[in-house]
Each structure stands twice: as structure tokens, then as C-alpha cells.
Amino acid sequence: MLEKRKAEIESCQGSDLEFDLVRFLLGNADILEKMNTILSRENQTNATTSSSIKEKIEMFARVSPFAAISVSEINSGQWC
């Protein structure tokens, strides 16, 4: 069985569906080590929206004690 320890969402718009997915992953993936959310270009240029998305995601409960959450403004390519 393949175990995924990292998750990444690209081009996050801040929609309810995206937040639901992040909340689900953090709340159910007990082996998750890293969760990276890359903001859409539109949200990268809007400081208020960008900050709001970051704050909301960081507040979600996580089941994995090792889960590190990051919100990026560009795709670093580290996980490709």
C-alpha cells in the first residue's frame, strides 16, 4: 500500500470546496507530514485575501502530530 505523507494544492482560490478538502486531509490523514497550499495568482497580489486564507488554513485541526502546514505564493517545485 502506498502511503502519501505530503499533500499540495495548487492555485488555491479560497473557495469553500478547497477549504473543505484541506480540512478533511488535515483531520483524517494521520500519517501526513506536510501540507502545502499554493495560492492562485489573483490571491498572491491581494494581501488581504492572501492573509485571510493563510489564517483560516492554519486554524484547522490536524490529526497528525507531525503535520506541517505551509501556504505559498509560488510553486517551489520541491514536491514535483
Instruction: List the domain boundaries for the chain.
Output: 6-72
The answer to whether residue 79 scores a pLDDT higher than 70 is no
Mean pLDDT (the chain) is 87
* φ/ψ bin of 65: left (φ > 0), alpha (ψ from -120 to 50), beta (otherwise): alpha
pLDDT per residue as tens digits for the range 9-44: 999 999 999 999 999 999 999 999 999 999 998 888
pLDDT > 90 in the chain, percent: 66
Q: Compare 66 and 77 and report the one with higher pLDDT.
A: 66
